[in-house]
Amino acid sequence: MFIGTFDLSMDPKNRIHLPAKVRDVLHSVYEPPLIVTVSDRCLAGYAARQWLEKYEKIESEPYTPEKGDLLRAISANAEECPLKNGRILIPTRLKEYAQIKRDVVIVGRVKKIEIWSAERYREAVASTPPSELSERIREYGF
Protein backbone atom coordinates (compact mmCIF):
# COMPACT_ATOMS: atom_id res chain seq x y z
CA MET A 1 0.00 0.00 0.00
CA PHE A 2 1.01 3.58 -0.57
CA ILE A 3 1.89 5.52 2.58
CA GLY A 4 4.11 8.42 3.47
CA THR A 5 4.89 11.88 2.20
CA PHE A 6 7.56 12.76 -0.33
CA ASP A 7 8.98 16.10 -1.42
CA LEU A 8 9.91 16.17 -5.05
CA SER A 9 10.22 18.55 -7.91
CA MET A 10 8.81 18.62 -11.38
CA ASP A 11 11.43 19.37 -13.98
CA PRO A 12 10.97 21.93 -16.75
CA LYS A 13 9.56 19.22 -18.98
CA ASN A 14 6.79 18.29 -16.58
CA ARG A 15 8.42 15.10 -15.48
CA ILE A 16 8.30 13.77 -11.92
CA HIS A 17 10.51 11.10 -10.48
CA LEU A 18 8.28 8.77 -8.54
CA PRO A 19 9.78 8.11 -5.10
CA ALA A 20 11.50 4.75 -4.97
CA LYS A 21 9.10 3.50 -2.33
CA VAL A 22 6.11 4.39 -4.44
CA ARG A 23 7.64 2.73 -7.44
CA ASP A 24 8.30 -0.43 -5.46
CA VAL A 25 4.72 -0.64 -4.27
CA LEU A 26 3.39 0.06 -7.74
CA HIS A 27 5.47 -2.74 -9.18
CA SER A 28 4.95 -5.28 -6.46
CA VAL A 29 1.28 -4.98 -5.55
CA TYR A 30 -0.27 -3.14 -8.49
CA GLU A 31 0.78 -2.75 -12.05
CA PRO A 32 2.02 0.19 -14.06
CA PRO A 33 1.04 2.31 -15.88
CA LEU A 34 -0.37 4.89 -13.57
CA ILE A 35 -3.69 6.53 -14.41
CA VAL A 36 -3.52 10.14 -13.29
CA THR A 37 -6.81 11.94 -12.74
CA VAL A 38 -7.99 15.22 -11.31
CA SER A 39 -8.86 15.00 -7.65
CA ASP A 40 -9.69 17.31 -4.76
CA ARG A 41 -7.25 20.23 -5.22
CA CYS A 42 -4.62 17.79 -6.42
CA LEU A 43 -4.08 14.91 -8.82
CA ALA A 44 -4.68 11.28 -8.02
CA GLY A 45 -2.67 8.37 -9.36
CA TYR A 46 -4.20 4.91 -9.53
CA ALA A 47 -3.27 1.66 -11.11
CA ALA A 48 -5.59 1.15 -14.07
CA ARG A 49 -7.70 -1.58 -12.49
CA GLN A 50 -8.34 0.39 -9.31
CA TRP A 51 -9.18 3.48 -11.30
CA LEU A 52 -11.76 1.62 -13.32
CA GLU A 53 -13.31 -0.03 -10.27
CA LYS A 54 -13.74 3.35 -8.64
CA TYR A 55 -15.22 4.85 -11.78
CA GLU A 56 -17.70 2.07 -12.34
CA LYS A 57 -18.80 2.06 -8.76
CA ILE A 58 -19.87 5.68 -9.02
CA GLU A 59 -21.40 5.08 -12.44
CA SER A 60 -23.49 2.20 -11.17
CA GLU A 61 -25.26 4.33 -8.58
CA PRO A 62 -28.48 6.15 -9.53
CA TYR A 63 -28.00 8.94 -12.05
CA THR A 64 -27.99 12.63 -11.21
CA PRO A 65 -26.92 15.46 -13.55
CA GLU A 66 -24.14 16.47 -11.16
CA LYS A 67 -22.77 12.99 -11.24
CA GLY A 68 -22.82 12.98 -15.02
CA ASP A 69 -20.63 16.07 -15.03
CA LEU A 70 -18.37 14.57 -12.42
CA LEU A 71 -17.82 11.39 -14.40
CA ARG A 72 -17.12 13.36 -17.54
CA ALA A 73 -14.60 15.53 -15.72
CA ILE A 74 -12.89 12.52 -14.26
CA SER A 75 -12.54 10.52 -17.42
CA ALA A 76 -11.85 13.51 -19.63
CA ASN A 77 -9.07 14.56 -17.29
CA ALA A 78 -7.54 11.16 -16.85
CA GLU A 79 -4.33 10.22 -18.58
CA GLU A 80 -2.29 7.11 -18.78
CA CYS A 81 1.17 8.03 -17.52
CA PRO A 82 3.67 5.25 -18.14
CA LEU A 83 6.85 5.05 -16.11
CA LYS A 84 9.86 6.00 -18.18
CA ASN A 85 13.19 5.86 -16.40
CA GLY A 86 11.34 5.96 -13.11
CA ARG A 87 9.51 9.12 -14.08
CA ILE A 88 6.03 10.02 -15.20
CA LEU A 89 5.13 12.83 -17.53
CA ILE A 90 2.33 15.08 -16.30
CA PRO A 91 0.19 16.51 -19.11
CA THR A 92 -0.08 20.28 -19.15
CA ARG A 93 -3.81 20.21 -18.56
CA LEU A 94 -3.42 18.29 -15.32
CA LYS A 95 -0.45 20.35 -14.22
CA GLU A 96 -2.51 23.48 -14.50
CA TYR A 97 -5.51 22.00 -12.78
CA ALA A 98 -3.41 21.14 -9.75
CA GLN A 99 -1.54 24.45 -9.97
CA ILE A 100 1.76 22.69 -9.86
CA LYS A 101 4.78 24.89 -10.31
CA ARG A 102 8.06 23.26 -9.46
CA ASP A 103 7.79 21.81 -5.99
CA VAL A 104 5.60 18.79 -5.63
CA VAL A 105 4.42 16.65 -2.73
CA ILE A 106 3.37 13.08 -3.25
CA VAL A 107 1.19 11.58 -0.56
CA GLY A 108 0.50 7.88 -0.18
CA ARG A 109 -3.20 7.20 0.27
CA VAL A 110 -3.11 3.43 0.56
CA LYS A 111 -4.76 2.50 -2.74
CA LYS A 112 -3.82 5.67 -4.59
CA ILE A 113 -1.27 8.43 -4.47
CA GLU A 114 -1.97 12.12 -4.42
CA ILE A 115 0.16 14.57 -6.34
CA TRP A 116 0.07 18.08 -4.90
CA SER A 117 1.52 21.44 -5.62
CA ALA A 118 3.80 21.87 -2.59
CA GLU A 119 2.38 25.27 -1.90
CA ARG A 120 -1.19 24.09 -2.01
CA TYR A 121 -0.38 21.11 0.13
CA ARG A 122 1.05 23.35 2.82
CA GLU A 123 -2.13 25.37 2.80
CA ALA A 124 -4.28 22.28 2.99
CA VAL A 125 -2.35 20.90 5.93
CA ALA A 126 -2.33 24.25 7.68
CA SER A 127 -6.10 24.47 7.45
CA THR A 128 -6.41 21.70 10.02
CA PRO A 129 -4.62 22.79 13.22
CA PRO A 130 -2.95 20.07 15.30
CA SER A 131 -5.45 20.43 18.11
CA GLU A 132 -8.35 19.68 15.82
CA LEU A 133 -6.46 16.82 14.30
CA SER A 134 -5.81 15.37 17.74
CA GLU A 135 -9.45 15.56 18.53
CA ARG A 136 -10.42 13.67 15.43
CA ILE A 137 -7.80 11.05 16.07
CA ARG A 138 -9.15 10.58 19.55
CA GLU A 139 -12.68 10.45 18.22
CA TYR A 140 -11.86 7.68 15.83
CA GLY A 141 -9.55 5.97 18.28
CA PHE A 142 -6.58 5.79 15.96
Partner DNA sequence: CAAACGTGCCGATGAACATCCGCGCTCCTT
Partner DNA sequence: AAGGAGCGCGGATGTTCATCGGCACGTTTG
- Give the interface with its own copies as residue ranges (CB under 8 A): 1-5, 35, 37-41, 44, 52, 54-56, 58-59, 66-80, 93, 97, 107-110, 114, 125, 128, 130, 133-138, 140-142
Contacts with 26 (C-beta within 8 Å, 6 or more apart), sequence order: 18, 32, 34, 47, 83
Contact 23, 9 (CB under 8 A): no
| 15 makes contact with DNA (CB under 7 A) | yes
> Which whole-number Å values give the CA distances from 49 to 27, 53, 89, 110, 111, in the listed order?
14, 6, 20, 15, 11
Contacts with 89 (C-beta within 8 Å, 6 or more apart), sequence order: 13, 14, 15, 81
CB of 35 to its own copies, least distance (A): 7
Residues forming a β-bridge with 7: 105
CB of 3 to its own copies, least distance (A): 4
CB of 13 to its own copies, least distance (A): 19
| 102 makes contact with DNA (CB under 7 A) | yes
* CB closer to its own copies, 11 vs 135: 135
| 16 makes contact with DNA (CB under 7 A) | yes
How is residue 84 annotated by DSSP?
A: B
| 62 makes contact with DNA (CB under 7 A) | no
Contact of residue 17 among its own copies, DNA, none (CB under 5-8 Å per partner type): DNA
One-letter identity of residue 70: L
Catalog residues that contact DNA under the rule CB under 7 A.
6-20, 23, 82, 84-86, 89, 91-92, 102
